[in-house]
Amino acid sequence: MEDKEFSDFKMERIECPKCGATWLNGQHYWKTGRVGDTKALSNLVCGVAPGPGCINEDHKEGHVYGEADTWQKRAQFINRWYEER
């Protein structure tokens, strides 16, 4: 009876055939192992190589999530960092 919790435990790992993003039990994780963000993933990964096949549910082709991380924001961050030096 004690080990019921363990026998119910399942690790479901899904990998996007297109961009290689991985989901563990429905949660997206970055390659670094950090908890992911499917909207930032859409901006940074899925949107870079357009076309069908991406399994990211939040990815809409041609759509950029303004509130999530984008390449534009990253470029601005890097530019500011250079200017401040």
Residue 57 to residue 42: CA distance in whole angstroms: 9
CB of residue 30 vs Zn ion: minimum separation in angstroms? 13
User: Taking a C-beta distance cutoff of 8 angstroms, is the pair 16, 56 a contact?
Assistant: yes
Asked whether position 46 contacts Zn ion by CB under 5 A, the answer is yes
Whichever of 14 and 67 has its CB closer to Zn ion, that residue is 14
Taking the mean position of all CA atoms in its chain, how far away is CA 18?
13
CB of residue 66 vs Zn ion: minimum separation in angstroms? 20
DSSP 79: H
**Where does this chain bind Zn ion (CB under 5 A)?**
16, 18-19, 21, 46, 54, 56
